[in-house]
């Protein structure tokens, strides 16, 4: 019998349905810095970046809150650039990484991977996934758009060196056994280069996984055009044809669902299902995951906090309370459908607004 090899995705929200029978808070993303050495044109949090770090809530306090969430199984660290300063790594990251390891919680850091190797070596023993973004068509584009909104930019040569660091660091970390996962957003800019980018991720960076996501049209990325559903379907089909079979390809927030009446969508989903080493991830934000800002204590759901408003704050309320209140909101209910037959938890609010503004998704449509 031939078994289809599908890697186990620790970040998948559906594991909570399998284990607890319902959406469950199992995943916390920490914003551990507001600093970054870059200012990318497409940065999702570009408007929050600062040049001086605020005082963080002591990690002992944060850990008391985490102790109350028995169902916690994955944690991610984002910024800014979480690995930018050794002080930040020592004070804000390492205690939480060590805590996670002591509880068997899986961890991921989102880094731009441009920094000196010793920054990565500090966290390597405690880390499960090093997550990087690779949306760069070439060095020239990195040099120009990676620092697009920085007032005093490094020289062109310095910026080019940072670009080469990404490749060198990814390769070295991968060779040393680290699970490096590169994410690429599909937009009008990256689609013509997606095969080149995939080959770089697989063959030059030696990453174990290539994540493919839609580009979310946000104010910050408004100059990068989103692609249509037809273009999206075509590029995913192309990726399935040219991809390197040795690398796991993960489609996150894939905007095609088993309840679709379009045969082309169903054919694509079937093709994905039948291909080894390819998975689709239900969106985690607002399902299994909330974001905790370690400076303010604010809790938010990343895709829903465009207006900057928080759902609550850990200084006044428990994580579980905030999560329950979130699940009761109209906005959460508006996207939470569920078809157990295909383990689908529905769309994400940005993808729905972008591609399916008038559609009503109904739980149980697929049997
Ligand atoms: S869970 Fe929602 S999006 Fe997914 S197949 Fe069912 S109705 Fe469609």
What residues does each domain of the chain span? 14-355
Report field, pTM of the whole predicted structure over 0.85:
yes
Give, using CA atoms, the residue closest to atom 8 of ligand 1. 259
Give distance in angstroms: CA of 226 to centre of ligand 1.
23
Which pLDDT score, from 0 to 100, does residue 59 have? 96
Which pLDDT score, from 0 to 100, does residue 79 have? 85
Give distance in angstroms: CA of 340 to centre of ligand 1.
9
pLDDT < 70 stretches in the chain: 1-3, 42, 45-47, 217-224, 303-308
Which pLDDT score, from 0 to 100, does residue 53 have? 86
Give, using CA atoms, the residue closest to atom 3 of ligand 1. 346
Q: Report residues whose beta carbon is within 6 angstroms of any ligand 1 atom.
A: 257-259, 337-339, 342, 344, 346-347, 361-362, 365-366
**Residue in the block written with tokens 């303010």:** 296
- Burial state string for 28-67 with b = 16 or more CB within 10 A and e = fewer than 16: bbbbbbbbbbbbbbbbbbbeebeeebeebbebeebeebbe
Which pLDDT score, from 0 to 100, does residue 145 have? 83
Give distance in angstroms: CA of 207 to centre of ligand 1.
31
Looking from the CA of residue 363, the nearest atom of ligand 1 is 7
Give distance in angstroms: CA of 258 to centre of ligand 1.
6
| Mutation test residue for ligand 1: of 229, 342, 359, 361, the one with most atoms within 8 Å of CB | 361
Which pLDDT score, from 0 to 100, does residue 125 have? 97
Say if residues 82 and 110 touch (Cβ distance below 8 Å): yes
Give distance in angstroms: CA of 229 to centre of ligand 1.
17
H or E element at residue 273: helix 263-273
Rounded to 5°, the CA angle 165-167-170 comes to 100
38: left (phi over 0), alpha (psi -120 to 50) or beta: beta
| CATH of the domain spanning 14-355 | 3.20.20.70
């Amino acid at each position: 019998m031939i078994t289809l090899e599908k890697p186990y995705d620790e970040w998948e929200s559906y594991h909570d349905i399998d284990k607890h029978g319902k959406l469950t808070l199992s995943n916390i993303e920490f914003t551990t810095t507001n600093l970054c050495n870059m200012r990318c044109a497409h940065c999702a949090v570009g408007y929050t970046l600062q040049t001086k770090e605020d005082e963080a809530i002591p990690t002992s306090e944060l850990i008391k809150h985490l102790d109350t969430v028995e169902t916690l199984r994955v944690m991610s660290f984002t910024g800014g650039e979480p690995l930018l300063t050794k002080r930040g790594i020592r004070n804000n990251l390492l205690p939480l990484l060590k805590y996670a390891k002591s509880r068997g919680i899986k961890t991921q850091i989102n880094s731009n991977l441009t920094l000196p190797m010793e920054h990565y070596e500090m966290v390597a023993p405690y880390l499960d996934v090093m997550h990087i973004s690779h949306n760069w068509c070439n060095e020239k584009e990195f040099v120009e758009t990676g620092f697009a909104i920085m007032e005093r930019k490094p020289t062109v040569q310095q910026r080019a060196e940072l670009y080469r660091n990404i490749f060198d660091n990814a390769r070295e970390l991968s060779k040393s056994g680290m699970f490096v996962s590169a994410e690429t957003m599909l937009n009008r800019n990256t689609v013509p280069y997606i095969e080149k980018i995939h080959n770089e991720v697989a063959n030059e960076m030696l990453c174990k996984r290539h994540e493919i996501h839609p580009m979310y049209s946000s104010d910050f990325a408004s100059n990068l055009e989103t692609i249509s559903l037809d273009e999206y379907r075509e590029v995913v089909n192309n990726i399935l044809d040219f991809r390197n079979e040795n690398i796991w390809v993960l489609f996150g927030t894939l905007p095609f669902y088993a309840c679709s009446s379009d045969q082309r969508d169903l054919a694509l989903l079937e093709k994905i299902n039948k291909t080894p080493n390819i998975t689709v991830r239900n969106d985690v934000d607002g399902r299994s995951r909330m974001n905790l800002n370690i400076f303010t204590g604010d809790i938010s759901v990343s895709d829903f906090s465009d207006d900057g408003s928080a759902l609550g704050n850990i200084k006044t309320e428990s994580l579980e309370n905030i999560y329950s209140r979130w699940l009761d909101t109209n906005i959460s209910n508006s996207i939470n459908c569920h078809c157990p037959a295909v383990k689908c938890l529905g769309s994400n609010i940005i993808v729905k607004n972008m591609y399916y503004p008038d559609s009503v998704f109904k739980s149980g449509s697929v049997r």
